[in-house]
Amino acid sequence: MSVLLTLNAGSSSIKFAVYLTGKGPGDEPELLQAGQVENLGPVAQLVLKGAAGQVIDIGPADHTSAVAAILRTLDPVLKGRAVTGVGHRIVHGGKTFGAPVRLTDQVLEQLEAFVPLAPLHQPHNLAAIRAAIAAFPEAVQVGCFDTSFHKGHPFVNDTFGLPRRFYDQGVRRYGFHGLSYDYITSCLRRDWPELAKGRVVIAHLGNGASMCALKDGRSMGSTMGFSALDGLPMGTRCGQLDPGVLLYLMDQGLGVQEITQILYHESGLKGLSELSHDMRILLASDDSKAREAIEYYVFRIRRELGGMAAVLGGIDGMVFCGGIGENASEIRARVIDGMGFLGLELDAKANAANATKIGSGPAQVLMIRTDEEQVIARAVAKELHAGKCD
Protein backbone atom coordinates (compact mmCIF):
# COMPACT_ATOMS: atom_id res chain seq x y z
CA MET A 1 0.00 0.00 0.00
CA SER A 2 1.45 3.38 -1.03
CA VAL A 3 1.14 6.72 0.73
CA LEU A 4 0.21 10.23 -0.27
CA LEU A 5 1.37 13.56 1.07
CA THR A 6 -0.54 16.83 1.44
CA LEU A 7 1.09 20.26 1.60
CA ASN A 8 -0.75 23.41 2.65
CA ALA A 9 1.73 26.26 2.20
CA GLY A 10 1.19 29.72 3.65
CA SER A 11 3.42 32.75 3.80
CA SER A 12 5.16 31.72 7.03
CA SER A 13 4.23 28.06 7.49
CA ILE A 14 3.61 24.75 5.71
CA LYS A 15 1.05 22.31 7.07
CA PHE A 16 1.58 18.71 6.01
CA ALA A 17 0.05 15.29 6.44
CA VAL A 18 0.83 11.79 5.20
CA TYR A 19 -1.89 9.20 4.53
CA LEU A 20 -2.29 5.61 3.46
CA THR A 21 -4.13 5.71 0.13
CA GLY A 22 -6.63 2.89 0.77
CA LYS A 23 -7.29 -0.12 -1.42
CA GLY A 24 -10.31 1.07 -3.36
CA PRO A 25 -11.77 4.30 -4.77
CA GLY A 26 -14.33 4.51 -1.97
CA ASP A 27 -11.83 4.13 0.87
CA GLU A 28 -11.10 7.17 3.01
CA PRO A 29 -7.35 7.98 3.18
CA GLU A 30 -5.97 6.97 6.59
CA LEU A 31 -3.94 9.61 8.42
CA LEU A 32 -0.50 8.46 9.57
CA GLN A 33 1.10 11.73 10.68
CA ALA A 34 0.41 15.45 10.50
CA GLY A 35 2.20 18.61 11.52
CA GLN A 36 3.53 21.89 10.27
CA VAL A 37 6.67 23.92 9.79
CA GLU A 38 6.23 27.25 11.59
CA ASN A 39 8.05 30.59 11.38
CA LEU A 40 9.68 30.11 8.00
CA GLY A 41 12.78 32.27 8.00
CA PRO A 42 15.83 32.32 10.27
CA VAL A 43 14.38 30.25 13.17
CA ALA A 44 11.90 27.76 11.72
CA GLN A 45 10.45 24.89 13.74
CA LEU A 46 8.83 21.64 12.68
CA VAL A 47 5.94 20.61 14.93
CA LEU A 48 4.49 17.08 14.83
CA LYS A 49 0.90 16.63 15.98
CA GLY A 50 -0.68 13.76 17.85
CA ALA A 51 1.19 11.15 19.85
CA ALA A 52 4.55 12.19 18.37
CA GLY A 53 4.19 15.70 19.76
CA GLN A 54 7.73 16.74 18.85
CA VAL A 55 9.03 20.25 18.23
CA ILE A 56 12.17 20.20 16.08
CA ASP A 57 14.31 23.28 15.48
CA ILE A 58 15.35 23.27 11.83
CA GLY A 59 17.08 26.66 11.72
CA PRO A 60 16.90 28.88 8.63
CA ALA A 61 14.31 27.56 6.18
CA ASP A 62 12.46 28.68 3.06
CA HIS A 63 9.67 26.68 1.43
CA THR A 64 12.06 24.40 -0.46
CA SER A 65 14.25 23.54 2.54
CA ALA A 66 11.14 23.20 4.74
CA VAL A 67 9.74 20.53 2.41
CA ALA A 68 13.09 18.73 2.63
CA ALA A 69 12.92 18.89 6.45
CA ILE A 70 9.39 17.50 6.38
CA LEU A 71 10.52 14.55 4.26
CA ARG A 72 13.45 13.78 6.55
CA THR A 73 11.14 13.79 9.56
CA LEU A 74 8.56 11.60 7.82
CA ASP A 75 11.06 8.97 6.73
CA PRO A 76 10.34 6.68 9.74
CA VAL A 77 6.59 7.08 9.07
CA LEU A 78 6.93 6.22 5.39
CA LYS A 79 8.80 2.98 6.25
CA GLY A 80 10.08 2.67 2.71
CA ARG A 81 6.64 3.02 1.13
CA ALA A 82 6.55 5.08 -2.04
CA VAL A 83 4.86 8.50 -2.12
CA THR A 84 2.68 8.10 -5.19
CA GLY A 85 0.71 11.32 -4.91
CA VAL A 86 1.14 14.81 -3.47
CA GLY A 87 -1.78 17.17 -2.96
CA HIS A 88 -1.47 20.92 -2.67
CA ARG A 89 -3.73 23.64 -1.37
CA ILE A 90 -3.76 26.44 -3.94
CA VAL A 91 -5.57 29.61 -2.94
CA HIS A 92 -6.57 30.91 -6.36
CA GLY A 93 -7.93 29.01 -9.35
CA GLY A 94 -9.23 32.08 -11.17
CA LYS A 95 -12.06 31.64 -13.64
CA THR A 96 -10.45 28.48 -14.97
CA PHE A 97 -10.33 25.81 -12.27
CA GLY A 98 -13.51 24.58 -10.64
CA ALA A 99 -12.24 21.20 -9.38
CA PRO A 100 -8.97 19.54 -8.33
CA VAL A 101 -6.55 19.17 -11.24
CA ARG A 102 -3.37 17.27 -12.02
CA LEU A 103 -0.51 19.77 -12.01
CA THR A 104 1.28 19.87 -15.35
CA ASP A 105 3.72 22.46 -16.68
CA GLN A 106 0.84 24.09 -18.56
CA VAL A 107 -1.32 24.28 -15.43
CA LEU A 108 1.54 25.75 -13.40
CA GLU A 109 2.00 28.41 -16.05
CA GLN A 110 -1.68 29.31 -15.75
CA LEU A 111 -1.44 29.45 -11.95
CA GLU A 112 1.51 31.85 -12.18
CA ALA A 113 -0.83 34.28 -13.92
CA PHE A 114 -3.04 34.33 -10.80
CA VAL A 115 -0.25 35.59 -8.51
CA PRO A 116 -1.52 39.21 -8.71
CA LEU A 117 -4.92 37.97 -7.52
CA ALA A 118 -3.46 36.39 -4.35
CA PRO A 119 -0.01 37.89 -3.77
CA LEU A 120 0.15 36.81 -0.12
CA HIS A 121 -0.54 33.13 -0.84
CA GLN A 122 -0.13 32.04 -4.46
CA PRO A 123 3.67 32.40 -4.70
CA HIS A 124 4.13 30.24 -1.59
CA ASN A 125 1.70 27.63 -2.91
CA LEU A 126 3.70 27.45 -6.14
CA ALA A 127 7.04 27.27 -4.28
CA ALA A 128 5.82 24.22 -2.33
CA ILE A 129 4.61 22.57 -5.54
CA ARG A 130 8.00 22.97 -7.19
CA ALA A 131 9.76 21.63 -4.10
CA ALA A 132 7.46 18.58 -4.10
CA ILE A 133 8.00 17.95 -7.82
CA ALA A 134 11.76 18.02 -7.23
CA ALA A 135 11.44 15.61 -4.30
CA PHE A 136 8.95 13.23 -5.97
CA PRO A 137 9.33 13.57 -9.76
CA GLU A 138 7.36 10.35 -10.37
CA ALA A 139 4.45 11.16 -8.07
CA VAL A 140 1.11 12.53 -9.24
CA GLN A 141 0.84 16.17 -8.17
CA VAL A 142 -2.72 17.44 -7.60
CA GLY A 143 -3.86 21.01 -6.98
CA CYS A 144 -6.95 21.76 -4.87
CA PHE A 145 -8.32 25.29 -5.02
CA ASP A 146 -9.85 27.45 -2.30
CA THR A 147 -11.92 29.22 -4.94
CA SER A 148 -13.45 26.07 -6.47
CA PHE A 149 -16.14 25.61 -3.82
CA HIS A 150 -17.68 28.96 -4.74
CA LYS A 151 -17.57 28.54 -8.50
CA GLY A 152 -21.11 28.88 -9.80
CA HIS A 153 -22.18 31.62 -7.38
CA PRO A 154 -25.27 33.53 -8.51
CA PHE A 155 -24.22 36.47 -10.70
CA VAL A 156 -25.34 39.00 -8.10
CA ASN A 157 -22.81 37.60 -5.64
CA ASP A 158 -20.06 37.36 -8.25
CA THR A 159 -20.07 40.83 -9.70
CA PHE A 160 -19.07 44.32 -8.64
CA GLY A 161 -20.77 47.55 -9.71
CA LEU A 162 -17.98 48.26 -12.21
CA PRO A 163 -18.15 48.46 -16.01
CA ARG A 164 -19.03 45.00 -17.31
CA ARG A 165 -15.73 44.65 -19.19
CA PHE A 166 -13.88 44.22 -15.89
CA TYR A 167 -16.11 41.30 -14.90
CA ASP A 168 -15.39 39.69 -18.26
CA GLN A 169 -11.66 40.17 -17.56
CA GLY A 170 -11.98 38.30 -14.26
CA VAL A 171 -12.58 41.09 -11.75
CA ARG A 172 -15.26 39.31 -9.75
CA ARG A 173 -15.98 37.82 -6.34
CA TYR A 174 -14.24 34.46 -6.14
CA GLY A 175 -14.61 33.58 -2.45
CA PHE A 176 -11.97 31.61 -0.54
CA HIS A 177 -11.53 29.03 2.28
CA GLY A 178 -13.26 26.59 -0.06
CA LEU A 179 -11.39 23.51 1.20
CA SER A 180 -12.56 24.21 4.73
CA TYR A 181 -16.14 24.73 3.57
CA ASP A 182 -15.94 21.54 1.53
CA TYR A 183 -14.89 19.56 4.60
CA ILE A 184 -17.57 21.06 6.87
CA THR A 185 -20.21 20.40 4.21
CA SER A 186 -19.13 16.74 4.03
CA CYS A 187 -19.47 16.47 7.82
CA LEU A 188 -22.97 17.95 7.69
CA ARG A 189 -24.02 15.49 4.99
CA ARG A 190 -22.68 12.59 7.06
CA ASP A 191 -23.82 13.58 10.55
CA TRP A 192 -26.56 16.21 10.06
CA PRO A 193 -28.18 15.23 6.73
CA GLU A 194 -31.38 17.23 7.19
CA LEU A 195 -29.46 20.36 8.13
CA ALA A 196 -27.15 19.84 5.13
CA LYS A 197 -30.18 20.17 2.85
CA GLY A 198 -31.14 23.49 4.44
CA ARG A 199 -29.79 27.01 4.89
CA VAL A 200 -26.48 27.07 6.73
CA VAL A 201 -23.94 29.77 7.48
CA ILE A 202 -20.37 28.58 8.08
CA ALA A 203 -17.98 30.94 9.86
CA HIS A 204 -14.35 30.03 9.23
CA LEU A 205 -12.64 32.16 11.87
CA GLY A 206 -8.86 32.06 12.09
CA ASN A 207 -5.92 34.23 11.15
CA GLY A 208 -7.77 34.35 7.85
CA ALA A 209 -11.53 34.64 8.28
CA SER A 210 -14.62 34.45 6.12
CA MET A 211 -18.23 33.32 6.13
CA CYS A 212 -20.17 31.33 3.57
CA ALA A 213 -23.91 30.99 2.96
CA LEU A 214 -24.94 27.46 1.92
CA LYS A 215 -28.23 26.23 0.53
CA ASP A 216 -28.45 22.46 0.06
CA GLY A 217 -24.66 22.28 0.30
CA ARG A 218 -24.01 24.86 -2.43
CA SER A 219 -22.25 28.16 -1.88
CA MET A 220 -24.69 31.01 -2.44
CA GLY A 221 -22.59 33.82 -1.02
CA SER A 222 -19.25 34.53 0.61
CA THR A 223 -17.87 37.45 2.59
CA MET A 224 -14.56 37.27 0.69
CA GLY A 225 -14.50 38.64 -2.82
CA PHE A 226 -11.89 39.39 -5.48
CA SER A 227 -9.07 38.89 -3.01
CA ALA A 228 -8.51 37.38 0.42
CA LEU A 229 -8.69 40.90 1.89
CA ASP A 230 -12.45 41.35 1.73
CA GLY A 231 -15.18 40.77 4.28
CA LEU A 232 -14.31 40.12 7.92
CA PRO A 233 -11.30 41.69 9.65
CA MET A 234 -8.59 39.07 10.11
CA GLY A 235 -5.33 38.61 11.98
CA THR A 236 -3.41 41.14 9.91
CA ARG A 237 -5.77 41.81 6.98
CA CYS A 238 -8.25 44.67 6.92
CA GLY A 239 -11.47 43.05 5.72
CA GLN A 240 -14.17 45.18 4.07
CA LEU A 241 -12.87 48.61 3.13
CA ASP A 242 -14.35 51.61 1.33
CA PRO A 243 -12.39 51.86 -1.95
CA GLY A 244 -12.27 55.60 -1.36
CA VAL A 245 -9.79 54.89 1.43
CA LEU A 246 -7.37 53.48 -1.15
CA LEU A 247 -7.80 56.56 -3.33
CA TYR A 248 -7.06 58.72 -0.30
CA LEU A 249 -3.91 56.73 0.56
CA MET A 250 -2.70 57.02 -3.01
CA ASP A 251 -3.36 60.75 -2.96
CA GLN A 252 -1.23 60.91 0.19
CA GLY A 253 1.67 59.54 -1.82
CA LEU A 254 1.59 55.86 -0.81
CA GLY A 255 2.53 53.42 -3.57
CA VAL A 256 1.24 49.94 -4.37
CA GLN A 257 3.85 48.16 -2.24
CA GLU A 258 3.23 50.38 0.79
CA ILE A 259 -0.54 49.97 0.56
CA THR A 260 -0.16 46.20 0.06
CA GLN A 261 1.98 46.00 3.20
CA ILE A 262 -0.61 47.90 5.22
CA LEU A 263 -3.65 45.96 3.99
CA TYR A 264 -2.15 42.47 4.21
CA HIS A 265 0.31 42.70 7.10
CA GLU A 266 -0.46 45.66 9.38
CA SER A 267 -4.26 45.77 9.61
CA GLY A 268 -7.03 43.65 11.15
CA LEU A 269 -6.69 42.60 14.78
CA LYS A 270 -3.01 43.49 14.82
CA GLY A 271 -3.50 46.98 13.44
CA LEU A 272 -6.54 47.83 15.53
CA SER A 273 -5.10 46.54 18.80
CA GLU A 274 -1.52 47.66 18.18
CA LEU A 275 -0.71 44.57 20.24
CA SER A 276 -1.13 41.26 18.42
CA HIS A 277 -2.97 39.34 15.73
CA ASP A 278 -3.42 36.43 18.17
CA MET A 279 -6.96 36.31 19.58
CA ARG A 280 -5.73 34.49 22.71
CA ILE A 281 -3.45 37.39 23.58
CA LEU A 282 -6.17 39.94 22.89
CA LEU A 283 -8.75 38.12 25.03
CA ALA A 284 -6.29 37.98 27.92
CA SER A 285 -5.35 41.65 27.63
CA ASP A 286 -6.77 44.53 29.69
CA ASP A 287 -5.72 47.06 27.04
CA SER A 288 -8.62 49.13 25.72
CA LYS A 289 -7.35 48.84 22.14
CA ALA A 290 -7.38 45.05 22.40
CA ARG A 291 -10.96 45.22 23.66
CA GLU A 292 -11.98 47.52 20.81
CA ALA A 293 -10.33 45.27 18.22
CA ILE A 294 -12.35 42.31 19.50
CA GLU A 295 -15.53 44.37 19.53
CA TYR A 296 -15.02 45.35 15.89
CA TYR A 297 -14.24 41.74 14.95
CA VAL A 298 -17.44 40.47 16.57
CA PHE A 299 -19.50 43.36 15.15
CA ARG A 300 -18.42 42.54 11.61
CA ILE A 301 -19.22 38.82 12.05
CA ARG A 302 -22.69 39.69 13.35
CA ARG A 303 -23.26 42.17 10.54
CA GLU A 304 -22.24 39.61 7.90
CA LEU A 305 -24.39 36.98 9.60
CA GLY A 306 -27.41 39.20 9.00
CA GLY A 307 -26.37 39.56 5.36
CA MET A 308 -25.99 35.81 4.97
CA ALA A 309 -29.48 35.33 6.44
CA ALA A 310 -30.84 37.70 3.82
CA VAL A 311 -29.04 35.82 1.02
CA LEU A 312 -30.55 32.53 2.22
CA GLY A 313 -33.97 33.80 3.24
CA GLY A 314 -33.42 32.61 6.81
CA ILE A 315 -31.07 30.31 8.69
CA ASP A 316 -31.48 26.68 9.73
CA GLY A 317 -28.05 26.43 11.29
CA MET A 318 -24.65 28.02 11.84
CA VAL A 319 -21.27 26.29 12.06
CA PHE A 320 -18.10 27.72 13.64
CA CYS A 321 -14.72 26.41 12.49
CA GLY A 322 -11.11 27.59 12.15
CA GLY A 323 -8.65 28.31 14.95
CA ILE A 324 -10.75 31.01 16.61
CA GLY A 325 -14.10 29.46 15.73
CA GLU A 326 -13.06 26.12 17.22
CA ASN A 327 -11.29 27.33 20.36
CA ALA A 328 -12.55 30.78 21.42
CA SER A 329 -15.82 30.06 23.22
CA GLU A 330 -16.09 33.70 24.26
CA ILE A 331 -16.10 34.87 20.63
CA ARG A 332 -18.78 32.32 19.72
CA ALA A 333 -20.89 33.49 22.67
CA ARG A 334 -20.57 37.14 21.70
CA VAL A 335 -21.48 36.42 18.09
CA ILE A 336 -24.64 34.49 19.01
CA ASP A 337 -25.73 36.80 21.83
CA GLY A 338 -29.04 38.46 20.90
CA MET A 339 -29.44 36.47 17.67
CA GLY A 340 -32.62 34.77 18.85
CA PHE A 341 -34.57 36.62 16.14
CA LEU A 342 -32.71 34.37 13.67
CA GLY A 343 -33.42 31.27 15.75
CA LEU A 344 -29.81 31.17 17.01
CA GLU A 345 -29.39 30.64 20.75
CA LEU A 346 -26.44 29.26 22.69
CA ASP A 347 -26.13 26.50 25.25
CA ALA A 348 -23.57 28.21 27.50
CA LYS A 349 -22.36 25.01 29.15
CA ALA A 350 -21.88 23.13 25.88
CA ASN A 351 -20.17 26.15 24.35
CA ALA A 352 -17.72 26.46 27.25
CA ALA A 353 -16.90 22.77 26.85
CA ASN A 354 -16.20 23.18 23.11
CA ALA A 355 -18.87 20.60 22.32
CA THR A 356 -20.03 19.97 18.77
CA LYS A 357 -23.66 20.90 19.34
CA ILE A 358 -23.65 24.23 21.19
CA GLY A 359 -27.08 25.63 20.32
CA SER A 360 -30.33 25.57 22.23
CA GLY A 361 -32.68 27.35 19.83
CA PRO A 362 -34.72 26.28 16.81
CA ALA A 363 -31.71 26.80 14.51
CA GLN A 364 -28.70 24.54 15.04
CA VAL A 365 -25.41 26.01 16.28
CA LEU A 366 -22.42 23.72 15.80
CA MET A 367 -18.67 23.77 16.28
CA ILE A 368 -16.90 21.42 13.86
CA ARG A 369 -13.13 21.14 13.60
CA THR A 370 -12.19 21.63 9.98
CA ASP A 371 -9.65 19.52 8.11
CA GLU A 372 -8.47 20.97 4.81
CA GLU A 373 -5.77 18.31 4.51
CA GLN A 374 -8.38 15.54 4.47
CA VAL A 375 -10.13 17.21 1.53
CA ILE A 376 -6.83 17.41 -0.34
CA ALA A 377 -6.05 13.77 0.47
CA ARG A 378 -9.43 12.66 -0.87
CA ALA A 379 -8.77 14.49 -4.14
CA VAL A 380 -5.33 12.89 -4.55
CA ALA A 381 -6.65 9.41 -3.74
CA LYS A 382 -9.43 9.89 -6.31
CA GLU A 383 -6.88 10.92 -8.95
CA LEU A 384 -4.65 7.95 -8.15
CA HIS A 385 -7.50 5.45 -8.36
CA ALA A 386 -8.75 7.06 -11.58
CA GLY A 387 -5.26 6.60 -13.04
CA LYS A 388 -5.37 2.89 -12.21
CA CYS A 389 -8.61 2.56 -14.14
CA ASP A 390 -7.37 4.43 -17.25
How far are the Cα atoms of 8, 152, 214, 351 from residue 218, in angstroms, in the given order?
24, 9, 5, 27
Helix (H) or strand (E) run with residue 209 in it: strand 209-215
Q: Is 146 known to be catalytic?
A: yes
Pairing of strands 209-215, 317-321: unpaired
User: What are the phi and psi torsion angles at 300 (to 5°)?
Assistant: -70, -35
> Rounded to an integer, what distance in angstroms lies between the CA atom of residue 28 and that of residue 163?
46
Active-site option among 146, 158, 182, 316: 146
Of the candidates 7, 23, 56, the residue with the CA atom closest to the CA atom of residue 385: 23
Nearest to 333 by CA among 29, 324, 341, 227: 324
Q: Are 149 and 219 in contact (CB under 8 A)?
A: yes
- The residues, ordered by sequence, that sit 6+ positions from 313 with a Cβ below 8 Å of its Cβ are 199
> Residue 213 class from Cβ within 10 Å (0-12 exposed, 13-18 middle, 19+ buried)?
buried
Which residues lie across from 15 on neighbouring strands?
A: 8, 36
Nearest to 297 by CA among 326, 264, 334, 327: 334
159 class by beta-carbon count within 10 Å (0-12 exposed, 13-18 middle, 19+ buried) = middle
Q: Which residues are catalytic?
A: 146
